[in-house]
Amino acid sequence: GTERHEARRIDLQLRGRTGRQGDPGSSQFFVSLEDDLMRMFGSERIAKVMDFAGYKEGEVIQHSMITKSIERAQKKVEENNFGIRKRLLEYDDVMNKQRTVIYSKRNHALFGERLAIDLDNAFYATAQSVVANSKETADYEGFTLDVIVNFGIQTNISKDEFIKEKFDVLVDTLYHEAYTAYQNKKQAIAQQAVPVFANIRNEQGAHIENVAVPFTDGKIGLQIVANLDKTIQTNGVELLHALERSITLNFIDNAWKEDLRNMDDLKQSVQTATYEQKDPLVIYKKEAFELFRKMDAEVSKNMVNFLSHAGIPIEQDGGAEIREGREEQTDLSHLQSNKAAIDAAGEDYAANQNDYYDPTPAPKQQPIQVGPKIGRNDPCPCGSGKKYKQCHGA
């Protein structure tokens, strides 16, 4: 505890209470020109001055000016560390704002608050994106194709309307078409699923609580777990809420994990902006906002795309692939428990194993002897007259 630390706080802790109150005490703190604290503030220059003044190596230098200079050096180190922490907090503040938005949407999905409003906004944002992609170039064919890809419907907007109408009017029209088609799709899913749920309750009894329903859009497949009784009582509304909740959480979580990786890469890449005389923090905030905006638009687009195309797959016999939402167990009732049958099976297994495996160990191979053993001190058989260890046995 006799070395000066780069932070005054650590030094004061080492001195104790009386030292912090001004009592010099009997402890002595030594500083070497090779310490980290001195090397950061020109110890080589001080060493040259000491050599010029005639001080010898190892000689102790005591002066109040040195003590004050060390305190000034410690103050500069603390200011630098404070600036680093402040800068890091400014970077983290950008992530915290994004995290607040993402987790508010997750809470809406988890607890059912504003989930319908978030989906409504997702449909409207997707409609804006679809119209914006083709409106400026008047590409009506591309517009109709985007409507089919994103909403799974044929739009009633004619080519003349698409060219003449304003942007906001086209967005409102497309949004109402897509959202109405989605509501009709929800009713069709409910009408398809409720009779199956009621049949499960009647046939399986009261011990089943949840049911797993598969949904797929042809590319992504998900198992949606819904409460059996609530789905029957609400005529399928509970199943649809479970579908929207699971889809929202799935796409938000995947996009958020990818965004975190992109933000880490961005934080590293913007540090080179200092070579262009630019503030890396300003560049980071600008690029982070653009990344988050694209991520949010992509999440809305993926959610709308899946909800507009997803449905319950139908088996070949016409029934929906709905099963109980719990772990499957193997039926062991058909297995034999007769001791004679088990012994017979064991004998058959042993006989079959003997055909392929012989339990007797293989005989150990003996080294091949090609002649009498030659000692190290025996004459070499080559006829040189030397000992074997000095000739061919070396």
The whole-angstrom distance between residue 169's C-alpha and the CA centroid of its chain comes to 40
Fold of 94-319: Helical scaffold and wing domains of SecA (1.10.3060)
Q: Which two tokens stand for residue 327?
A: 């772990």
Ramachandran category for residue 54: left, alpha or beta (phi over 0 → left; psi -120 to 50 → alpha): left
Give the separation between CA 18 and CA 216, rounded to whole angstroms: 74
| pLDDT score of 339 | 43
| pLDDT score of 126 | 92
| pLDDT score of 67 | 74
Q: Which two tokens stand for residue 59?
A: 């000689």
Tens of pLDDT along 244-259? 999 999 999 999 999 9
Query: Range(s) for CATH 1.10.3060.10 in the chain?
Result: 94-319
| pLDDT score of 335 | 36
C-alpha closest to that of 320 among 190, 187, 152, 184: 190
Max CA distance (Å), the chain: 115
| pLDDT score of 6 | 75
| pLDDT score of 113 | 76
Helix/strand/coil for 50: helix
Angle at 226 between CA 223 and CA 228, to 5 degrees: 130
- Ordered per-residue pLDDT tens for the chain, 394 residues: 456 777 777 777 777 776 667 666 666 677 777 777 777 766 667 677 777 777 777 777 776 777 777 788 888 888 888 888 888 888 889 999 999 999 999 999 988 778 889 999 999 999 999 999 888 888 899 999 999 999 988 989 898 998 888 999 999 999 999 999 999 999 998 888 888 888 888 887 677 888 888 888 888 888 888 888 888 888 888 889 999 999 999 999 999 999 999 999 998 888 888 888 888 888 999 999 999 999 999 999 999 999 998 888 876 454 555 554 444 443 434 434 444 443 544 455 444 444 444 445 556 665 555 556 788 888 888 878 888 888 877 7
Tens of pLDDT along 148-198? 999 988 989 898 998 888 999 999 999 999 999 999 999 998 888 888 888
C-alpha closest to that of 120 among 183, 28, 66: 183
Q: Is 364 exposed, middle or buried (0-12, 13-18, 19+ CB in 10 A)?
A: exposed
| pLDDT score of 336 | 42
| pLDDT score of 41 | 65
Q: Which two tokens stand for residue 119?
A: 């989906």
